[in-house]
Homo-oligomer: A and B are copies of this chain.
């Protein structure tokens, strides 16, 4: 296909469709509810929410494609210096941004939370880039699952560029970090931003990599569900899940750039905050028991672990 904003938009909608089908099938119970919305300044989105399923307690697979006058702050960044500032041009520069964002919170604390986002951005003057990331947040870390997840992601990276996995894995470790807790959000994954033709590969090659990240989501998460959904759990496991979800809330509200940007720029609040769990909890100065599974998980919420 020719790569332009129309074909990228269509491809993302098709990806949203196929991911929703795969998740509904893996869930075995709930169906996504769809909500279409438009943005006054241009564009809109297709929000799909799933809840109270056999596997999934609360989750969303969101597509959006928005456009309009490029906000001024974009011109303060060096990366966009090829574009003349508002003062110099008669016609206001336009931006276009499209992407798919996913967060899934499962019922069973043995099934991990997963997040993925892939996005494309372009602006008047020929600026265009790709970004994205996928990361897994287990309530309990099973090393064989962590190895499986990172190996699959590494395969996707290696197919396109053998530098990408280590570079983007480190980026995820740094990005998905709860600084005030000195904990990573989970076992990480990959994170990348502003991939374009100025980087080591052409835009076309980066686009192929980016598509493969999107396509990897469903088989990976379906496998993680399959491995863990029938595991038994106790009330104590559920309590721990609430606390880990509390940390997820802390990350998203305090650090996540997409969330902060969305809330500050009058974005669609319900779409932005679909990432939050149905319930989360906090306990003052909670301490894990020595030798417990909780303590083991906590000890693995560190940067720089080689999971592969």
Q: Is the C-beta of A276 less than 8 angstroms from some C-beta in chain B?
A: yes
Q: Is the C-beta of A301 less than 8 angstroms from some C-beta in chain B?
A: no
Q: Which residue of B lies closest to A181 (CB)?
A: B269
Pick from B58, B253, B285: contact of A254, CB under 8 Å: B253
Q: How far is the CA of A283 from the CA of B44 in the complex (A)?
A: 21
Pick from B181, B269, B279, B285: contact of A35, CB under 8 Å: B285
Q: How far is the CA of A273 from the CA of B246 in the complex (A)?
A: 11
Contact B280 A279 (CB under 8 A): yes
Q: Is the C-beta of A249 less than 8 angstroms from some C-beta in chain B?
A: yes
Contact A284 B270 (CB under 8 A): yes
Q: Is the C-beta of A74 less than 8 angstroms from some C-beta in chain B?
A: no
Contact B253 A249 (CB under 8 A): yes
Enumerate chain B residues within 8 angstroms of A278, measured Cβ to Cβ. Answer: 281-283
Q: How far is the CA of A276 from the CA of B246 in the complex (A)?
A: 9
Contact A277 B282 (CB under 8 A): yes
Q: Is the C-beta of A263 less than 8 angstroms from some C-beta in chain B?
A: yes
Q: Is the C-beta of A274 less than 8 angstroms from some C-beta in chain B?
A: yes
Enumerate chain B residues within 8 angstroms of A60, measured Cβ to Cβ. Answer: 284
Enumerate chain B residues within 8 angstroms of A242, measured Cβ to Cβ. Answer: 279
Q: How far is the CA of A247 from the CA of B54 in the complex (A)?
A: 28
Q: Which residue of B lies closest to A51 (CB)?
A: B284
Q: Is the C-beta of A180 less than 8 angstroms from some C-beta in chain B?
A: yes
Q: Is the C-beta of A61 less than 8 angstroms from some C-beta in chain B?
A: no
Pick from B250, B273, B282, B283: contact of A282, CB under 8 Å: B273
**How many copies make up the complex?**
2
Q: Is the C-beta of A116 less than 8 angstroms from some C-beta in chain B?
A: no
Contact B276 A279 (CB under 8 A): no
Q: Is the C-beta of A49 less than 8 angstroms from some C-beta in chain B?
A: yes
Q: How far is the CA of A181 from the CA of B273 in the complex (A)?
A: 11
A-B residue pairs in contact (CB < 8 Å), sample of 25: A35-B285, A49-B284, A49-B285, A51-B284, A58-B282, A58-B284, A60-B284, A179-B263, A180-B269, A242-B279, A249-B249, A249-B253, A250-B253, A250-B273, A253-B253, A253-B254, A254-B254, A254-B263, A270-B285, A274-B284, A278-B281, A278-B283, A279-B279, A279-B280, A280-B281
| 144-178 of chain A: CB within 8 A of chain B | none
Q: How far is the CA of A274 from the CA of B282 in the complex (A)?
A: 8
Enumerate chain B residues within 8 angstroms of A179, measured Cβ to Cβ. Answer: 263
Enumerate chain B residues within 8 angstroms of A272, measured Cβ to Cβ. Answer: 180
Enumerate chain B residues within 8 angstroms of A263, measured Cβ to Cβ. Answer: 179-180, 254
| 32-66 of chain A: CB within 8 A of chain B | 35, 49, 51, 58, 60
Most interface-central of A269, A270, A276, A282 (chain B CB within 10 A): A282
Contact B280 A280 (CB under 8 A): yes
Q: Which residue of B lies closest to A281 (CB)?
A: B279
Q: How far is the CA of A35 from the CA of B285 in the complex (A)?
A: 10
